Amino acid sequence: MKRIKNNISILFLVLATSIASAQIKFEAKVSKKTLGVNERLRIDFEMNQDGDNFVPPSFADFDLVGGPNTSVSNYSRNGKRSYNKTYSYFLAPKKRGKFTIKQATIEIDGETYKTFPITIEVTAAVNKPNGETAASDVAEDNIHLVAEVSNASPYLNEAITVVYKLYVSTETGVSNWREKDIPRYNDFWSQNIDIKGLNVLEGEYKGEKYRYVVLRKTVLYPQKIGALKLEPLVLDITVEVPTNRRDIFGRPLMTKVPKVVTAGSRTLNVKPLPEQGKPSDFKGAVGNYSFKVTTSKTQLNATESLQAKIEVTGNGNLKLFELPKLTVPSSLEVYEPEHQENIRTNLGGMQGGISDTYTIVPQYKGKYPIPSISFSYFNPETASYKRITSDEIVIDVLEGPTASINNTENTTEGVKQAVNSNTNTFAFIKTASNWSSIKEEQFFKSTGFWSLLLLPFLAIPLAIVVRRKTDERNADVQGNRIRKADRLAKKYLGEAKKALGQKEAFYLALEKALHNYLKAKLNIETSDFNKEKIENLLTERQVESNVVSDFISILENCELARYTPITQVTMKNDYDKAAKTISLIDKQLR
């Protein structure tokens, strides 16, 4: 009987042990219950069985500076399975006092479990905060994103480089990163340089050893002067921070902390190009260049072709200016140039060359000079303007018809020659036919007969009205002058109006229209004229000074607009101003 009682006792003991081992635990633990206002609090929510719908407390009296971090351990020992899951939060108290962290909840096997509330006392700041440093604080001190700018005070259109580096201390690590906000360079011409692979390099940050990777390289050309702001690059990264716990080999266990880092905004002071010494043919080229004009041949026969090449090579804003134009005698027919670019961009800026290749076809026998062409640029290294002038090239046409006009006169556009018709071009055309009418009708007293008879009498009143209107219109001298001026403005500005909205095409067409108008009205070639000469010539022809100033300002806008951002509204205003100015000049010219 005693033996049976012993067996029953053992059975109850085993059942109690099994029930205890199967008991579900969900509890909250804090790193300390009393801390200074300048210290950090860690709170862990631990469970011995996985659950769903975990809801943490609000932490209303604290700032969340890290977390949640999740850790899971699941292992078997001596045939017994052990499971543990923890949600960790790092908190910073907002003020001194006693605060209660309320319950957290979770669902496990269909049942809802809650933690006990915990009361925390926050005291005055301590001189040396004790306890474990929050992982977010460690990440803050050991991860830095830096934007390195090559030149904080560049000239307009001078190349600068921005290199973005992520510095990581040797004690922490980064498991992944993502660009959260990419800078937009609104006031710059920009180009990113491809980075093949992220190489970890050794360096220093504020005198301490760090590892770093280069994330981005960008080349910028400022298009405005003054203080220009560079927007910051912002990254989402996951930082691996060591904890006080260690694995079985003695190595510190790492915890992962999400963090947002930014390079911060930078301000550049962009200097204007100096006005002193600026050449009249300067078109905005900034850098260090060489310039040449070459031809594929200098001797050929009439109707054969040759190529003339205008080429600029070097280092600078190669994509942001136009090449000078080719000027040839009228008997050399010139076709639109073929533009070519061979440019590569690295940390030194744009390098390579651009060229315009013209195809030229001579029409008559003789020798034709291609005048010298000059090219000006600003060198930021010496802070001075440079001008390069090509040599004159003589084209010798050996065989061909002799021109009856002077072919040495220079023009900016080739003049196409008249085509001589060939009398044998068409086959013989019959002058008679043997056609016969299918149905003969008499015209006399037909509908057509009476219509033609009455038509002159009906047209007499209409002719009288038209004549009176014409006389009135001809008598209106001022009105005719205004209408003629408006038609002339529309004629020359037609191409510019079609290109509204396309900055480069619009201002190129607008500048060409203004020059063509002067050529037509003043019978001059504007290729050798600068703005000062045009201003003097219009003033001599009794054009009002304010109208002349408007005309010159439009020309200057055409040059400046190629290198600065322009809105649709600005282009429309420049077009309207050009039309009004041409109309006023046409009415005032004497």
- Are the CB atoms for 290 and 311 separated by under 8 Å? no
Among 372, 268, 357, 245, residue whose Cα is nearest residue 309: 357
* pLDDT for position 542: 82
- Are the CB atoms for 170 and 211 separated by under 8 Å? yes
How far apart are the C-alpha atoms of 332 and 394, rounded to whole Å? 12
Give the list of residues 6+ apart from residue 323 with CB closer than 8 angstroms, or none.
310, 312, 354, 355, 356, 375
Residue 562 sits at φ, ψ, to 5 deg, of -70, -20
* pLDDT for position 17: 43
DSSP E strand boundaries for 401-528: 410-411
The distance of Cα 130 from the centroid of its chain, to the nearest Å, equals 51
* pLDDT for position 296: 93
Among 89, 93, 116, residue whose Cα is nearest residue 105: 116
**Which tokens belong to 381?**
């290294």
Question: How big is the CA angle at 460 (ends 455 and 462), to the nearest 5 degrees?
Answer: 100
How far apart are the C-alpha atoms of 237 and 177, rounded to whole Å? 4
**Which tokens belong to 6?**
């012993």
Give the list of residues 6+ apart from residue 76 with CB closer than 8 angstroms, or none.
82
The distance of Cα 112 from the centroid of its chain, to the nearest Å, equals 56
Q: Which helix (H) or strand (E) holds 343?
A: strand 338-346
What is residue 230's three-state secondary structure? strand
DSSP letter for each residue of 497-541: HHTTT-HHHHHHHHHHHHHHHHHHHH----TT--HHHHHHHHHHT
- Are the CB atoms for 243 and 255 separated by under 8 Å? yes
How far apart are the C-alpha atoms of 411 and 77, rounded to whole Å? 98
Burial of 39 (0-12, 13-18, 19+ CB in 10 A): buried
What parts of the chain have a pLDDT lower than 70? 1-22, 75-79, 127-136, 247-250, 404-433, 435-441, 474-491, 523-530, 562-565
* pLDDT for position 417: 43
* pLDDT for position 450: 80
* pLDDT for position 375: 95
* pLDDT for position 177: 83
How far apart are the C-alpha atoms of 537 and 479, rounded to whole Å? 26
Sequence-ordered alpha helix ranges (H) in 183-236? none
pLDDT, tens digit (0-9, with 9 covering 90-100), for 302-324: 889 999 999 999 999 999 999 99
Measured in residues, the chain has a length of: 590
Using alpha carbons, list the distances in angstroms from residue 428 to 19, 340, 478: 120, 50, 55
* pLDDT for position 21: 42
How far apart are the C-alpha atoms of 308 and 470, rounded to whole Å? 53
* pLDDT for position 413: 40
**Which tokens belong to 13?**
């003991």
Burial of 505 (0-12, 13-18, 19+ CB in 10 A): middle
How far apart are the C-alpha atoms of 590 and 581, rounded to whole Å? 16
